[in-house]
Structure 1
C-alpha cells in the first residue's frame, strides 16, 4: 500500500512538471529563415506565427510565387526548431522513466 501511495504522489508530481513544461513551451518562440535571410518568421511554442519580416528587395510582381515559397520555408524552419526544443525539454523531464520508445506525450 505504501508503494501505491508513493506512486500516486510521484504521478501528481510528474503531472505538475508536465503542466509547467507545457506552459514553458507555449511561451517560447523560435525564428526561421529562408532565402539567405530574405524572409524571417517567428512562431510560438503553439506554432502560431508571431512575426514575419520580408526584405523589400523581394517585392516585385513577377516574384510572388518565390516570395510565397520563401515564407512557407521560413515558417517550416521555425516550426522544426520549436519541435526540436519541445522534444529536448520532454526528454530532460522524462529522463530515467521507463517510457516505451516512440511514445508521444500529451502535447
Structure 2
C-alpha cells in the first residue's frame, strides 16, 4: 500500500508543478517578425496574440494582400514559437512523457 501512496503523492506533486508551469507560461511571450522586421507580432505561450506592429512603409493601399500575408506569416510564426516553447517546458516536467490534453 505504501507504493500506491507514494505514486498518488507523486502524481499530486506533478499536477501542482504543471499548474505552476502553465501559469508561468501564460505570462511568457515570444516575438516573431516577417518582411524583414516590417511586421512584428508578440504572443503569449498560452496562444494569445498581444501585440501587432506594422511599419508604415509596408502599408500600401494598392497591395493589401502583401500586408495580409506578412501579418499572417508573423502571427503563424509567433504562435508556432509559443507552442514549441510550451511543449519544451512541459516535456522537461514530464520527462518527455506525452500526456494527452496536457501539452
> Aligned with 1:20: secondary structure?
helix
Task: List structure 1 segments (4+ residues) > 6 angstroms apart after TM superposition.
Answer: none
> Aligned with 2:32: secondary structure?
strand
Once the two structures are TM-superposed, the CA of residue 27 in structure 1 deviates from its matched residue by 0.9
Aligned residues: 103
CA–CA distance in structure 1, aligned partners of residues 48 and 29 of structure 2: 9
Give 5+ residue unaligned stretches, structure 2.
none
> Aligned with 1:60: secondary structure?
coil
TM-score, length-scaled by structure 1: 0.88
Give 5+ residue unaligned stretches, structure 1.
none
2:22 aligned with 1:25: no
State the superposition RMSD in angstroms. Answer: 1.5
Once the two structures are TM-superposed, the CA of residue 61 in structure 1 deviates from its matched residue by 0.6
Once the two structures are TM-superposed, the CA of residue 106 in structure 1 deviates from its matched residue by 2.2
TM-score, length-scaled by structure 2: 0.92
Q: Once the two structures are superposed, what CA deviation does each residue of 1:37-87 show, in whole Å capped at 9, x if it has no partner? A: 110000112221111111110122112110011001000111111111111
CA–CA distance in structure 1, aligned partners of residues 34 and 46 of structure 2: 21
Indicate if the aligned counterparts of 2:42 and 2:51 stay in contact, CA closer than 8 A: yes
Once the two structures are TM-superposed, the CA of residue 103 in structure 1 deviates from its matched residue by 4.4
Once the two structures are TM-superposed, the CA of residue 104 in structure 1 deviates from its matched residue by 3.3
Matches within 5 A, 1:41-60: 41-60=41-60
Once the two structures are TM-superposed, the CA of residue 94 in structure 1 deviates from its matched residue by 1.2
Question: 1:61 corresponds to which residue?
Answer: 61
2:90 aligned with 1:90: yes
